């Protein structure tokens, strides 16, 4: 039987987002609470929810294995902390009020058994742009390519599930916006108005897309990005969220971005944004999730 991925991974058309990261210990009571939260999510008509587990809960509930996120000490003093947590619930949909109602129901089910460590609400920004003003996810795989990039294929352990990464980045927009647009474009590697990729002979080797889009043995390590902008006037940035069919892809991309892949070049965009969280997760198929929560 073909495994069914959680539908919220690929649901499009959302305008508002909410990431809930919990720390918790495995117990029958927690399992029942997650099941109650999932029941609320399945009953929601205007919001989607994806349930994902850190290594500790994954091992306890299914025997699965996942590597924890580890701190990154990169080139030029760049750092990314590890804040590995146990349970991630990503809520999204076309209406902020529907997201709020579902998140309230989810948290109501969990709050006696899990500690909410991070709550990050987000939104679409100007035609799916990052707050830097550049279109986000231009090269994101679509349709069948998205399924191939995000999901463990049939015949492998965990089929229909997806590895996930979450990193909350805080942008320094005041510094970035002082740059002339051509300088900003050199940092990203694309034109700002229409997101046209620079030609290889013109694109800087430390441009964002040159560091974040990589290949091994001639094959691009594609991931399926679902990141979203968040914040207000004091603090704002990007909640980086992505899915992949294997965890290695995240490690390889991060090493290339942070300048620890061998050439000591780093992603120039990281001079204008700072990671403040980092966790790896696994989002099981619907069938596996059913078995885990029995």
| Length in residues, the chain | 294
pLDDT at residue number 233: 96
The tens digit of pLDDT for each residue in 99-137 reads 999 999 999 999 999 999 999 999 999 989 999 999 998
Query: Facing residues of 218 across strands?
Result: none
List, by residue number, the catalytic residues: 136
Q: Which domain holds residue 285?
A: 7-292
In a domain, 1, yes or no: no
The tens digit of pLDDT for each residue in 157-170 reads 999 999 999 999 99
3-state secondary structure of 205: coil
Q: The tokens of 86 are what? A: 């146990």
- C-alpha 206/C-alpha 248 separation (Å) is 21
pTM above 0.75, yes or no: yes
- C-alpha 53/C-alpha 21 separation (Å) is 10
Structural contact between residues 184 and 172, judged by C-beta atoms closer than 8 angstroms: no
In a domain, 159, yes or no: yes
- Taking residue 195's Cβ as centre, other Cβ atoms within 10 Å add up to 18
The tens digit of pLDDT for each residue in 43-84 reads 999 999 999 999 999 999 999 999 999 999 999 999 999 999
pLDDT category at 2 given cuts 50, 70, 90 is confident
Structural contact between residues 86 and 116, judged by C-beta atoms closer than 8 angstroms: no
Q: The tokens of 142 are what? A: 């679509």
* Percent of the chain whose predicted confidence (pLDDT) is above 90: 97
In a domain, 31, yes or no: yes
- C-alpha 152/C-alpha 168 separation (Å) is 25
- C-alpha 215/C-alpha 199 separation (Å) is 17
In a domain, 2, yes or no: no
Q: Which residue has the tokens 């109650």?
A: 36
Phi-psi region of 30 (alpha: psi -120 to 50; beta: other; left: phi over 0): alpha
Query: Facing residues of 93 across strands?
Result: 16
The count of domains in the chain is 1
pLDDT at residue number 1: 67
């Amino acid at each position: 039987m073909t495994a069914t991925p959680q539908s919220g991974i690929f649901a499009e058309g959302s305008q508002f987002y909410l990431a809930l990261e919990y720390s918790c210990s495995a117990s029958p009571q927690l399992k029942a609470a997650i099941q109650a939260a999932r029941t609320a999510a399945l009953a929601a008509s205007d919001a989607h929810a994806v349930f994902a587990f850190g290594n500790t809960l994954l091992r306890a509930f299914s025997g699965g294995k996942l590597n924890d996120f580890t701190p990154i000490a990169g080139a030029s003093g760049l750092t990314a902390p590890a804040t590995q947590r146990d349970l991630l619930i990503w809520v999204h949909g076309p209406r902020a009020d529907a997201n709020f109602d579902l998140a309230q129901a989810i948290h109501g089910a969990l709050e006696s058994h899990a500690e909410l460590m991070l709550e990050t609400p987000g939104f679409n920004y100007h035609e799916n742009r990052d707050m830097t003003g550049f279109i986000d996810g231009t090269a994101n795989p679509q349709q069948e390519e998205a399924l191939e990039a995000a999901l463990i294929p049939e015949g492998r352990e965990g089929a229909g599930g997806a590895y996930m990464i979450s990193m909350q980045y805080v942008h320094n927009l005041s510094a970035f916006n002082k740059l002339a647009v051509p300088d900003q474009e050199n940092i990203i590697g694309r034109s700002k108005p229409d997101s046209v990729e620079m030609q290889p002979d013109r694109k800087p080797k430390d441009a964002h897309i040159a560091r974040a889009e990589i290949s091994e043995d001639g094959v691009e390590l594609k991931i399926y990005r679902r990141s979203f902008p968040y914040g207000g006037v004091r603090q704002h940035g990007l909640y980086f969220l992505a899915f992949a069919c294997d965890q290695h892809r995240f490690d390889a991309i991060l090493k290339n971005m942070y300048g620890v892949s061998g050439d000591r070049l780093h992603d120039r965009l990281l001079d204008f944004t700072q990671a403040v969280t980092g966790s790896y997760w696994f989002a099981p198929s619907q069938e596996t999730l059913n078995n885990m929560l029995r």
